[in-house]
Amino acid sequence: MKTKQLFEKLTENWQAKVICFGLALGLYVVHITSILDRKTYTVPLKVVADGGMYPMSDYPEYVRITVRSTAENIAETLQSDFTATIDLTKYEKEGSFSVPVSVHLSPKLLLMDPFEIKLNPESVSMRLEEKTLKYVSVAPSLSGEVPHGYAVTKMSVEPATVEIVGPRRAVDETKQVYTSAIDVTALTSPKTFEASLQNINSLLAINPAKSYTVHVDVAEEPLVKKFTDVPVRLLFLPEALEAEGESPKISFDVAGTVPTLEDYELSESAVYADCSAIDKVGTYDLPVHITLPSYFQIENQSAETVNVAVRVRRETQSESAGR
């Protein structure tokens, strides 16, 4: 009897009681919502491509995760507590797909209540192609210019190749990858640099070695300088004798390098003929001597010898006539 009376009491005016319960629940929800704080985190988006497909189109590098919870909970929440991924493992055919973004929370966040998250975007549209792998060469990337008079003669990278992974077409079109920029502005001698790799195609993954070494050979640029109609000095001619007419002249080229030869000028005694063996009037065929620094080479010399006519010095003749 008592149970029946209790049931009748509970069901009496049940419509009003349901309405009151709903209003109370609504007020509770409004109250809880009003005391919740909000904070947005920008989280890197990781692509899991362990299957046979790989993204061929660009995709966002980050997603935004908005959290609603109590101030105490949000104060304990860090960006590192979230991991955002898109998993391509289940896709087996090429085509365009809307791939959902998955968010993984750290264990401490799972214990927080209330704790709500909102993800933007919730899915990513991308085109998938067959995943391909190949090895390509590594090319050094230079910045700046070596000083005037110098030139880069050779470059090499170690290791010389690198593995790239990505969608079929992007991999097929990639012939080489480049190192990070190496500044050669002040380089005047060979040098070895440590370098990383730059990925010029965001669709490709590069599996580099721990480090790359780039060896750059630099040498002085060659230069050939022409010397034309250079007077041949006649040295060691006895005082009583003199050469008739103007001094003989020759032309020649000097081979060297830009830094050493560009501003080089001949000294007055650089080109000469040795007259020390002459002791009387006559005509002589004398070898030409050219004195230059050892790092120069003489080329295209117009004459190896010069013809010199020697006579008695006029002052000497006048003195003899006066006597």
Contacts of 286 (CB under 8 A, 6+ apart): 234, 273, 274, 275, 305, 306, 307, 308
| C-alpha span between 115 and 270 (Å, rounded) | 93
Tokens standing for residue 144: 């700046």
Q: How far is CA 194 from CA 62, 121, 281, in A?
A: 31, 40, 72
pLDDT of residue 207: 85
Per the structure block, which two tokens stand in for 251?
Answer: 């032309």
- Quickly name the fold that domain 222-322 has: RNA Polymerase Alpha Subunit; Chain A, domain 2 (2.170.120)
Domain boundaries, the chain: 12-130, 131-220, 222-322
Partnered with residue 132 across adjacent β-strands are 166
Over residues 206-215, the pLDDT tens digits come to 887 788 999 9
pLDDT at 189: 95
**The predicted structure's pLDDT at residue 319:** 53
Domains 12-130 and 222-322 share a fold: yes
Top-level class of domain 12-130: mainly beta
Q: Which residues of the chain have pLDDT under 50?
A: 1
Given this structure, which CATH class describes domain 131-220? mainly beta
What distance in Å separates the CA atoms of residue 24 and residue 60, rounded to the nearest whole number? Answer: 43
**SS (HEC) of the chain:** CHHHHHHHHHHCCHHHHHHHHHHHHHHHHHHHHHCCEEEEEEEEEEEECCCCEEECCCCCCEEEEEEEECHHHHHCCCHHHEEEEEECCCCCCCEEEEEECEEEECHHHHCCCCEEEEEECCEEEEEEEEEEEEEEEEEEEEECCCCCCEEEEEEEEECCEEEEEEEHHHHHHCCEEEEEEEECCCCCCCEEEEECEECCCCCCEEECCCCEEEEEEEEECEEEEEEEEEECEEECCCCCEEECCCCCEEEEEEEEEHHHHCCCCCCCCCEEEECCCCCCCEEEEEECEECCCCCCEEECCCCCEEEEEEEECHHHHHHHHHC
Q: Which residue do the tokens 């006579």 mark?
A: 311
Q: Is the pTM of this model over 0.75?
A: no
Q: Is 216 in contact with 189 (CB distance < 8 Å)?
A: no
Among residues 178, 182, 177, which one has the least CA distance to residue 145? 182
pLDDT at residue 209 in the model: 77
pLDDT given for residue 208 in this prediction: 79
